[in-house]
Each structure stands twice: as structure tokens, then as C-alpha cells.
């Protein structure tokens, strides 16, 4: 079968035959099913094997994305993070490859973020085209269940005596099924199943770490890239989550899981809006849906999974943006008028009697800081920077490889209020600004500065996927994070390695118990 890039690519799999397309010289296969549709009786069940198909399946168009809230006209930061069509029959993946041959290229599996409630592996933002072309990689992006369809937890109730009656985290069973599919099938697309990197941003980075803690999954990949993982989130126990599920059932007007199964997915998404309001707390990132430590699919906080056992041998790159929390708070008028007393009260929830001292420590780092600036720095540290540094510290202390970075380049968008906000590094990593033209986040960035930094980051990600080491000739030496050096790569208008770049945050939070 001729699968050179200028011919229509066709691949034979155990499930059936696939016909893709050639886009800009890259063979692309879209909406490839990796698990059975999670509909009807399979709603809120672990992902099941796909039954396959007969004939040649067309894989030239994106399939539906997972059901989610949708804001017509987009949002003021990203301009939208998921668009119709949506459908609960969504367990598909997309593949980009230089050629569907026997090339055994390194594989990059991308897991999108979105606060566990939004996003899609089919978004143009996450196109694998640049990585496939520039790095001679095979790239896979996945759709998986999000929001109520992926993250509700019912415990023993509603599981009808399955093998794991109290298992949850249906999103994680989807991702495991996708990883298993990639491991078993990617050689047909020119990929090497023995060289797989799983990467994700935000909720996708949390997913990546959770996979590293799964006994089956951790044997299926060799490297991880964790971009802005919100490791500071408290991951609820089953008992804690069942309280959240009970509230959701009220908003949906249902008594149990069986009644929810009879509701159309738009009604389920509508009820999610009620849970947003119910779970929201002032000064905290809103997360109505979360992973659950069910003891079956997820046994510990994902921040701990890469520190011991087989997962300790996985190569790790981890990083954050300098002002992560500006993404969710800088443009919110309710926080712009926050008082010092309000912020001190929020700080006291973590630092108790030291709140005044901590407020002053944050205020000194920003001349003329408003209370909301202190709050955003606190949230950035609690949710992202400090727990990421703690993972790097622990791995370095154990002699395990880890590379750390901080993205510092501020965006001039929105009058500069967003600064180096959550998500800003994504178009630099993918080096595909043409796919982000709808996003207010990138407006006003100088093209010459932008393109140079994107080239440096994009090639570093390619090098890490290929070798487990992000160094390449186009940037200064990136040293591993060490127990003494604490070397951290700063991505800014000038790219440079800095010792203990997060030292102020690290020492300020030292000794505080993570959730």
C-alpha cells in the first residue's frame, strides 16, 4: 500500500481500514474511534473497546467534541476553547504523521486542558502539524469525556455491580484507552510504540500525571511534559465528592445515575452551570468538576505519582507561567475592587496568623501592587508554581531527571493586565500563531520577538520528545533541575537558565501542607 505523503493515505488496523488525507504534506487521520461510544448504558461507565467497522472508514473530517458549555462569540482571553458540533459520542483521536510507513518515529500524545469542563483535541490550536513537520514526529490529540459526563462520581450507587463498583474518573479510563490504542496501533502510522511522550497543559497536565500513576499506563510511555499542572488543587475523597454529586443531581432534577442516563446531554451541561455557582469560593479558581481519589483508578494525588515506583523512571519536563492566575482574575471587575482586608482573609486560610507578613512579602515584589495583584500572585503560587517546584525538588533530591521552566513573556493584550498568564505559552510551544488569530491573549505581541521565542520553545519540546532532553543548538544550555542548582529555564525576550528562579515563592510557602 503506497502511503507516501503525496498519496491518499490508507491504513489497515485490526478494527478496520482508515482513509485519511494529506494536508500541507502531512498525512492526517481525523475522528479515529479509540473506544466505544459512551452513550446509553455506557454513560458513566469505564471506556470500552470499540467494536470496529466494515469497509473503509473516512477519517478526513473532525468528529464531534465532548459536550461542554459554549459561549457564542468566545471569551475575552482565549476567544473560545471548544465549538460545535458537540456530542457524547466523542471518544476519537486525530493523528498527524509525515508518512504512514515503517518509520518508527517518536510519538507525542497531547491531552488538552480546559478546567475539566472545556476543550477539544480537534481545536486548530492543538494541531499536530507543526510538530510532525518540524520534528519528524507522529502526533496524536484526543477527545475525552469532560464536565459531568467525565467527572461525576457515584460510588457504588449506579454502577450495577460492575467489577470496580466504586470506580470513577471516567475521563481517565478514556485517556488510558486512547494511550492503549496508540501503543497498539501507532506503528501503522509511522510511529514508535516504544518512544511515547504524553504531554498536556493545565487539566491535561493533571491528566498526564494521573496516567503516570496508573499501573498499566505507566508501562506504555517514557516521558511526560507537564505544562501548568494545577497540582495545588485539593483532589476530593469519595465521601467529599458524593456531596458534590448530590448537589449536581438537584440541579439536574434527578434522583440517581439511572435517571441522569435518561437525560439528553444538553440538559446535563445546563445543570453544570448550577454546580459552578454552588462550588465557587471567593479567591479560588472555579472547579465544579474534579478528579476523585477513588482508590481504584486514582490512588493518590497526581502530584505524587512521578516520585516513586516505575513512574520515577519517566523523564519529566515541568513548567508554569509567571502570572498564571491573571488568566482567571485580571479581567474580572469583581476582583478589581477587592480590598486589602478581603485578600488578607483569603491569605489567612492558608497562612493563618502570618497573613499580614505574607501580604507584605507579595506586595514588595510588585511596586504599587493592588490587593488583586497580591491575590493573583498567591493563587499562582498555591495552585501552580509552588507545587510544581515541590515536584522538581523531590525528583532532584532522589536523583531523578526533571527539567523545569518558567514562561515570563508578558502579553500586551488587555492593557497588559494579563501579563504572562495561564495558556500564553501554548502558541509558542506549538509555534502556530496562525491558528490562534481568534485569541485576544496574543494581540500586540511583537512578531519578531514572538517568532524567535516560539522557535526556541518549539524545538526544545521536539528535542525532549525525541531524546528525553530539551537541549538543542538554538538556545542556551538547559540544565536539569538540581537539588542545589535549582536550574530553571526562563522563556522571555531573552532565553536564559536561572538558578532558583522561583526561590521567593518556594521559601514563602516552605512547610505548608499541600492538599
pLDDT for position 2: 52
Query: Which residue has better confidence, 452 or 218?
Result: 452
Q: Return d(Cα 509, Cα 25) in angstroms, integer.
A: 49
Does 324 qualify as catalytic in the annotation?
yes
Using CA of residue 59, residue 68, residue 287, residue 72, what is the dihedral sign? positive
Marked catalytic residue, from 195, 202, 456, 505: 202
The answer to whether the CB of 497 falls within 8 A of the CB of 490 is yes
Q: What is the DSSP letter of 384?
A: I
Marked catalytic residue, from 50, 301, 422, 472: 422
Query: Do strands 56-58 and 105-111 pair parallel, antiparallel, or not at all (unpaired)?
Result: unpaired
Domains along the sequence of the chain with CATH: 10-70+102-305 (3.40.50.1820), 320-337+380-507 (no CATH)
Q: Return d(Cα 97, Cα 515) in angstroms, integer.
A: 40
pLDDT band at residue 5 using 50, 70 and 90 as cut-offs: low
Q: Return d(Cα 474, Cα 462) in angstroms, integer.
A: 12
pLDDT band at residue 209 using 50, 70 and 90 as cut-offs: very high
pLDDT for position 511: 75
Q: Which helix (H) or strand (E) holds 178?
A: helix 170-185
Sheet with 56-58, strands from edge to edge, namely 10-13, 16-19, 56-58
pLDDT of residue 515 exceeding 50: no
**Which tens digit of pLDDT belongs to each residue from 59-118?**
999 999 999 999 888 899 999 999 999 999 999 999 999 999 999 999 999 999 999 999
Residues 6+ apart with CB under 8 A from 40: 261
The answer to whether the CB of 265 falls within 8 A of the CB of 88 is yes
Q: Return d(Cα 450, Cα 129) in angstroms, integer.
A: 19
Using CA of residue 504, residue 510, residue 512, residue 514, what is the dihedral sign? positive
What does each C-alpha distance from 22 to 59, 286, 450, 487 come to in angstroms?
A: 11, 41, 29, 42
pLDDT for position 162: 52
Q: What is the DSSP letter of 502?
A: T
**Which tens digit of pLDDT belongs to each residue from 149-201?**
999 999 976 555 455 566 899 999 999 999 999 999 999 999 999 999 999 99
**Which tens digit of pLDDT belongs to each residue from 288-311?**
999 999 999 999 999 999 999 999
Does 234 qualify as catalytic in the annotation?
no
For 108-169, the three-class secondary structure string (H helix, E strand, C coil) is EEEECCCCCCCCCCCCHHHCCHHHHHHHCCEEEEECCCCHHHHHCCCCCCCCCCCCCCCCCC
Does 382 qualify as catalytic in the annotation?
no
Angle at 81 between CA 80 and CA 86, to 5 degrees: 110
Q: Return d(Cα 468, Cα 479) in angstroms, integer.
A: 13
Burial class of residue 304 (count of CB atoms within 10 Å of its CB; 0-12, 13-18, 19+): middle
pLDDT band at residue 514 using 50, 70 and 90 as cut-offs: very low
Torsion of CA 295, 242, 349, 366, to 10 degrees: 80
Q: Return d(Cα 499, Cα 507) in angstroms, integer.
A: 14
pLDDT for position 73: 80
472-499: average pLDDT:
97
β partners of residue 406 = 320, 490
3-28: average pLDDT:
90
Marked catalytic residue, from 324, 382, 390, 425: 324
Query: Do strands 26-33 and 191-201 pair parallel, antiparallel, or not at all (unpaired)?
Result: unpaired
What is the average pLDDT value for the chain, to the nearest integer? Answer: 95
Q: Helix or strand or coil: residue 462?
A: helix
Q: Beta-carbon neighbour count of residue 81 at 10 Å? A: 24
The answer to whether the CB of 142 falls within 8 A of the CB of 175 is yes
Q: Return d(Cα 45, Cα 106) in angstroms, integer.
A: 32
Amino acid at each position: 500500500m503506497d502511503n507516501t505523503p503525496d498519496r491518499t493515505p490508507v491504513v489497515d488496523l485490526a478494527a478496520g481500514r482508515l482513509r485519511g488525507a494529506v494536508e500541507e504534506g502531512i498525512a492526517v487521520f481525523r475522528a479515529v474511534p479509540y473506544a466505544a461510544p459512551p452513550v446509553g448504558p455506557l454513560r458513566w461507565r469505564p471506556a470500552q473497546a470499540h467494536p470496529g467497522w466494515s469497509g473503509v472508514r473516512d477519517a478526513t473530517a473532525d468528529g464531534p467534541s465532548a459536550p461542554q458549555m459554549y459561549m457564542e462569540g468566545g471569551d475575552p482571553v482565549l476567544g473560545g476553547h471548544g465549538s460545535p458540533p458537540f456530542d457524547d459520542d466523542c471518544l476519537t483521536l486525530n493523528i498527524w504523521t509525515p508518512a504512514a510507513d515503517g518509520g518508527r518515529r517518536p510519538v507525542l500524545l497531547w491531552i488538552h486542558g480546559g478546567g475539566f469542563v472545556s476543550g477539544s483535541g480537534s481545536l486548530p490550536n492543538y494541531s499536530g502539524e507543526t510538530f510532525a513537520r518540524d520534528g519528524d514526529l507522529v502526533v496524536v490529540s484526543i477527545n475525552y469525556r469532560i464536565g459531568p459526563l467525565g467527572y461525576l462520581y457515584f460510588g457504588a450507587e449506579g454502577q450495577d455491580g460492575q467489577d470496580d463498583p466504586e470506580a470513577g474518573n471516567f475521563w481517565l479510563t478514556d485517556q488510558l484507552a486512547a494511550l492503549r490504542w496508540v501503543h497498539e496501533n501507532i506503528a501503522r502510522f509511522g510511529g514508535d510504540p516504544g518512544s511515547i511522550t504524553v504531554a498536556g497543559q493545565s487539566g491535561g497536565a493533571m491528566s498526564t500525571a494521573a496516567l503516570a500513576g496508573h499501573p498499566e499506563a505507566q508501562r506504555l510511555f517514557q516521558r511526560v511534559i507537564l505544562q501548568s499542572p494545577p497540582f495545588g488543587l485539593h483532589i476530593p475523597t469519595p465521601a467529599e465528592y458524593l456531596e458534590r454529586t448530590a448537589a449536581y443531581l438537584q440541579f439536574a432534577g434527578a434522583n440517581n445515575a439511572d435517571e441522569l442516563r435518561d437525560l439528553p446531554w444538553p440538559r446535563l451541561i445546563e445543570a453544570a452551570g448550577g454546580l459552578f455557582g454552588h462550588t465557587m469560593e471567593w479567591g479560588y479558581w472555579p472547579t465544579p468538576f474534579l478528579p476523585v481519589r477513588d482508590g481504584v483508578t486514582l490512588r493518590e494525588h497526581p502530584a505524587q505519582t512521578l516520585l516513586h515506583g516505575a513512574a520515577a523512571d519517566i523523564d519529566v519536563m515541568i513548567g508554569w507561567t509567571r502570572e498564571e492566575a491573571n488568566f482567571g482574575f485580571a479581567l474580572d471587575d469583581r476582583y478589581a475592587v477587592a480590598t486589602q482586608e478581603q485578600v488578607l482573609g483569603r491569605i489567612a486560610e492558608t497562612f493563618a496568623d502570618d497573613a499580614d507578613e505574607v501580604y507584605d512579602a507579595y506586595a514588595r515584589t510588585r511596586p504599587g501592587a493592588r490587593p488583586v495583584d497580591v491575590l493573583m500572585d498567591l493563587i499562582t503560587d498555591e495552585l501552580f508554581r509552588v507545587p510544581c517546584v515541590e515536584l522538581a525538588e523531590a525528583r532532584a533530591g532522589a536523583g531523578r531527571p526533571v527539567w523545569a521552566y518558567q514562561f515570563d513573556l508578558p502579553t500586551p493584550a488587555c492593557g497588559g493586565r494579563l501579563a504572562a498568564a495561564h495558556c500564553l505559552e501554548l502558541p509558542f510551544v506549538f509555534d502556530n500563531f496562525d491558528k490562534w488569530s481568534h485569541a485576544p491573549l496574543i494581540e500586540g505581541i511583537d512578531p519578531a520577538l514572538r517568532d524567535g521565542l516560539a522557535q526556541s520553545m518549539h524545538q526544545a519540546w521536539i528535542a525532549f520528545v525525541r531524546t528525553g532532553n530539551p537541549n538543542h543548538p538554538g538556545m542556551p544550555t538547559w540544565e536539569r533541575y538540581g537539588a542545589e542548582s535549582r536550574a530553571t529555564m526562563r522563556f522571555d525576550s531573552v532565553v536564559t537558565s536561572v538558578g532558583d528562579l522561583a526561590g521567593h515563592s518556594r521559601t514563602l510557602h516552605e512547610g505548608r501542607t499541600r492538599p
